[in-house]
Chain A
Amino acid sequence: MSGQQILVISADKVGRRMAGTSIRAYELARALGSEGDVTLAALNSPEADGLGLFDVPILSYDLRAPSELAAAIMSADVVICQPQWPHLGRSLARTRARVVFDLYTPEHLEVLERESRLRSVIVALTRDRVAEALHAGSQFICATERQRDLWIGMMLEERLLGARTYDRDRSLQNLIRIVPFGTSEAPPRADGHPIRRQFPVIGESDRIVLWNGGLWDWFDAPTAIRAVAAIVRDRPDTRLVFMGAASAGPGARATSEARRVAAELGLLDTHVLFNDSWVPYDDRGGWLLEADCAVSTHVEHLETRFAFRTRLLDCFWAGLPIVCTAGDELASWIVRDDLGAVAAERDVTAVAAGLAAVLDRGKDAFRAQLANAADGYRWGRVVDPLKDLLRSPDPGPLGTNGARRLGPRVRNWAFRSAVTAASTLGVGLPEV
């Protein structure tokens, strides 16, 4: 199999600091080294190749004028990427390469959360993009069972699961497989006491409950705050720390709501602490190591139903027990493998009881189980289903006829014209 040209496209920058998308693309690229010659294409990352950090060659591209990337797509044997905007989508539809779409973020659900005057346009464009990918892709990967069911439903409604596809593969295991997020092979690094450095109010022997991620509308921070308030009455040495509580940007609304609840309970900045600055991805290990328990609560919501909760994986990796809302696959493993505790949605008493129980047992009681769970999620392991897909014969694009609805075709054309015009005039694309 070696010798085939594999192109993995990261929709974001790669470099010293990387967002989840780039980390995933990089880890997929690395793991596929056994299957051929891999190149990682990364958005606006001209310096990345010179950093000496990455063991795959990196091709930087500019979304406004991605001619080099388009050429790489045309000449590759395998392309792995997320659904692309129309100007790249056209290359993906025309290439002879096997195109595997990575559908690990249901973007068409995420955009529904946007607050923008352009929301309905963005929603329509994103749905077009996703539908286009389902037609143009040969095979697909996603992150959870739930997502897989959602995508199969979309394929059905897009009329992509006809007799031809079905007869070849009745379980669709050769069409769409699950590749969750993975954990880094390197253990987290301890770097002094970053949490206590940030919040001197926390005493040396205090117990830290960490909300290890951002605050978004679909999370339910007030329940976590009220649960900690219930514990603080008996044990004032308990502190709740929000690791990514930006007062600006998309999470601002949820953050100010959480601050309000903490202030009402009289715990703001004493027992409930908000970190306003961003913790670099590489430094998160130190925060996780310093904490005693992680908490993550949410309400039922399309986003939480279909998202992969990477933050919980981070806890496995750092040996941090978890108290979270019940209802998904990861939560059921937390119960089964004794990795912490779960509670029903909005159940303050149950969250408090879970936190108290986990804190009393101490982190060490969970260490072995968590290490086991983390091992099951090593990148080297989670990429296996993708390798299986690439080793099976290429079924060709799922959509056989180019017959598309009029609306998407018009929007595609308008988008491509806008990009061409913008790059001719040398103006930037608006952030969408």
Chain B
Amino acid sequence: MTLAGHRPRVLFISPDAVGERMAGLGIRYTELARALAPSCDVRVATGAPGAAGGTIPGCDVPVVGYVPHAPKALREHIAWAEAVVAPPQWPVVTRWLRSSGNRIVFDLYDPETLETLELFAGRRPAMRRLMVALTLDRLDDALRTGHHFMCAGEGQRDLWLGALLASRAITPAAYDADRSLRDVIDLVPFGLPAEPPSPGPGAREAFPGRIGPDDEVILWNGGIWPWLDAPTAVRAVTELAERRPGVRLVFMGRGSGFAGQAAFEATRDVARDLGVLNTTVLFADGWVPYAERGGWLLQADCALATASDHLETRFAFRTRLLDCFWAGLPIVCTAGDDLAARVRSEALGATAPPGDATALAAALESVLEQGRQAFDAQLSDTASDYAWPVVSGALQRWVGGGRVTRASQSVAHPRRRPSHRVRVALYWLVRTGLRAVGKPWPAR
């Protein structure tokens, strides 16, 4: 598809910071930009304040900035680009993208819609309804505007295929052109760093005197969130400790915000009630810096990740499990999502049904009994599937296709529903009003 010698111009729009202190999407677009850089001219736009300027380390991809609800600076970059990769956008940017003639790839890797339901639980009902409606409006606009969609796993792909069909974006003609619809929606999961983790301090250094040299470290390698099920993890390890007194469960991070704090406290209370707090079950203070996680993963004997049966967990992509592939750490987790299915079918550890502490204890015991080495080969095989140049395959294919002509459009553009149109008009009104009085967009 690519014309000989032509380098496609690709713009990534990241709401998160890129560069030094990166969050999820920032890391994702930095790595994807790096993977595309050898064959494309790439720019990354970031909506995080103060993050613009300079280039992405390791390649000469410029990082440019924009202000999320006053995104004028994006216009010139959209005009420059032939292909744009972005998560679902607010109405202003969507409108520019739609009229740009560029190939638009929407990133549906993060099931934001399901997260919104969870994150705004406990807020005022009217507020929550509005936030859910706005998130769905953005998804709707993305489905009606995008030419291609990337998602993290096959389960997510099924979810989004359902949404695409409901939005009536898939016409019979699109189906005839591509009966698997892999050209419309395909997987671009999260990837792994190219360099292996480096040894360094971990749980043993963080809890001097609490973990003996022969004790076994079970690592909860991430934060504690309401949709995860840390209490069951505590119960399982407590049960296991009766048979294997040397096991230690170490929580590497906490959740943040109101919901995260509540989940942490509930977990700590369970540990206290079972009399294992600060003996068998240990909580790290604050967050282990992202760059230091390698040391913790290399030191541990097994990772543990439990979730409840829950919409968010079914469709989320657990990057914490990827980290375990990277560090060769076997995993015990609850069944129910794509990566868990992989853990089970490729013997990367063991799985247990959600909420079943006894089954979880048995799974942990069998993995600890076999030892890390028993899982080494499978884990490193799996890790190689998640190298960024590999996971970005579909994206590379799409951006090589050049600008979109009408004939090559695979997705129809059905009209917005009336309530959606009303909310879009309100958005323009509020935005213009705020600009007129010189006020910034309110933070969430």
Chain A interface residues (CB < 8 Å from chain B): 108-109, 112, 119-120, 123, 127, 131, 145-146, 149-159, 161-163, 166-167, 170-173, 218, 299-303, 305-306, 332, 336, 403, 405
Contacts and interface: CB of A to CB of B under 8 A. Distances in A.
A340 B126 CA distance: 55
Contacts of A170: 308, 310-311
Nearest to A144: B158
Contacts, number: 108
A191 B172 CA distance: 44
Contact of A218 (B113, B117, B179): B179
Contacts of B168: 127
A405 B417 contact: yes
A161 B168 CA distance: 18
B140 interface: yes
Interface of B: 113-114, 117, 120-121, 125, 128-129, 132-133, 136, 139-140, 143, 155-156, 158-168, 171-172, 175, 179-182, 308-311, 314-315, 345, 417-419
A143 B120 CA distance: 32
B113 A156 contact: yes
A154 B162 contact: yes
Interface of A is mostly: helix
15 contacts: A112-B172, A145-B155, A149-B156, A149-B159, A150-B158, A154-B162, A156-B162, A161-B117, A163-B121, A170-B308, A171-B311, A172-B311, A301-B179, A332-B345, A336-B345
Contact of A154 (B125, B165, B345): B165
A153 B159 contact: yes
A218 B314 CA distance: 29
A63 B181 CA distance: 34
A171 B308 contact: yes
A303 B179 CA distance: 9
Contacts of B179: 218, 301-303
A157 B132 contact: no
Contacts of B165: 108-109, 127, 150, 153-154
Contacts of B136: 156-157, 159
A300 B162 CA distance: 17
A404 to B, nearest CB: 9
Interface class of chain B by DSSP: helix
Query: Which of B128, B166, B182, B417 neighbours the largest number of chain A CB atoms within 10 Å of its CB?
Result: B166
B182 A149 contact: no
Contact of A152 (B133, B162, B181): B162
Contacts of A120: 171-172
A299 B113 CA distance: 32
A162 B179 CA distance: 32
B47 to A, nearest CB: 25
A152 B172 contact: no
Given A119-B172, A302-B175, A302-B179, A157 B117 contact: no
A163 B311 contact: no
Contacts of B418: 403
Nearest to A147: B158
**Which 7 pairs, one residue from A and one from B, show the smallest C-beta to C-beta distance?**
A153-B162, A149-B158, A157-B166, A153-B159, A157-B163, A150-B162, A154-B162
A203 B182 CA distance: 45
Nearest to A106: B165
A300 B182 contact: yes
B417 A149 contact: no
Given A108-B165, A157-B139, A301 B180 contact: yes
A109 B182 CA distance: 15
A162 B308 contact: no
B132 A163 contact: yes
A151 B166 CA distance: 9
B422 to A, nearest CB: 12
Given A161-B117, A163-B128, A152 B143 contact: no
Contact of A163 (B129, B161, B164, B315): B129
B394 to A, nearest CB: 14
A157 B125 contact: no
Contacts of B121: 163, 167
A156 to B, nearest CB: 6
Contacts of A302: 161, 175, 179-181
Contact of B155 (A149, A158, A171, A300): A149
B126 to A, nearest CB: 10
Interface centre among B132, B139, B175 (most CB of A within 10 A): B175
Contacts of B345: 332, 336
B140 A157 contact: yes
Contacts of B129: 162-163
Given A153-B158, A157-B139, A302-B179, A166 B166 contact: no
Given A127-B165, A170-B310, 7 more contacts: A127-B168, A150-B158, A152-B311, A157-B143, A159-B133, A171-B309, A301-B179
Contact of B309 (A145, A156, A158, A173): A173
A152 B159 contact: yes
